[in-house]
Structure formats: C-alpha cells, structure tokens
C-alpha cells in the first residue's frame, strides 16, 4: 500500500470531505492501485498555494500554507477503471479510510 500526496482544488475539497464526491480522475503517473491511500491537500489553483482553515481569522476564512500545514483528508482507493478515459488517465473510486 502506497500513500499518494496530491493537491485537491478547494472547489472539490469539501465535496470529497463530506462524501458527496466519491471519485477522482487522475493521470496514472503514480501507479495507483486499489488499497492505496490518497492524502488530498486543499489547494487554490488561482492563487497557486495550499490552504488551511483557521477559524481565528474571522474576516479571512483561509490562510496560505505549505503542504505540511494545509487541510488534508485521507481517502482509500476502493475501485479503479480507465473505461472511456483519455490515454493514461483513470477514475479512482474513493472511500473513507
């Protein structure tokens, strides 16, 4: 079992965190396998930075951070397919670990 550290755009982060979004489509450049873990860190692609929730900052709900301080959720790959995907891409079915 491997742990894959990945960026997850913040527009999808809460959807994965709450269980509404239960899949990821990724380029299979990491040799993903069923049973592997995804460490998904909140990332803002517009600002090109990781994000961390900080309730102490009332006027600004997020502050920029390094990957080690970013909000991160752990998910397990429970299913994998490349059906109807671009070459080299896979759909990863994910569940709570």
Domain CATH code at residue 35? 2.30.130.30
- State the residue range of the domain holding 71: 3-96
- pTM summary value: 0.84
- The reported pLDDT for the residue numbered 64 is 60
Task: Provide the domain count of the chain.
Answer: 1
User: What is the Cα–Cα distance from 97 to 95, expressed in whole angstroms?
Assistant: 6
Residue 38: name the closest of 2, 68, 87, 64 by CA. Answer: 2
User: What is the Cα–Cα distance from 89 to 37, expressed in whole angstroms?
Assistant: 18
> For the segment 18-50, what is each residue's pLDDT rounded down to a tens digit?
999 999 999 999 999 999 999 999 998 888 888
């Amino acid at each position: 079992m491997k742990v894959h550290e990945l960026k997850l755009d913040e527009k999808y982060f809460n959807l994965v965190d709450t269980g509404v979004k239960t899949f990821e489509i990724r380029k299979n450049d990491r040799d993903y396998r069923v049973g592997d873990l995804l460490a998904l860190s909140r990332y803002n692609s517009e600002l090109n930075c990781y994000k961390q929730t900080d309730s102490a900052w009332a006027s600004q709900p997020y502050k920029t951070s390094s990957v080690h301080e970013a909000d991160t959720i752990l998910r397990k790959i429970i299913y994998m397919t490349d059906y109807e995907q671009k070459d080299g891409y896979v759909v990863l079915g994910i569940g709570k670990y």
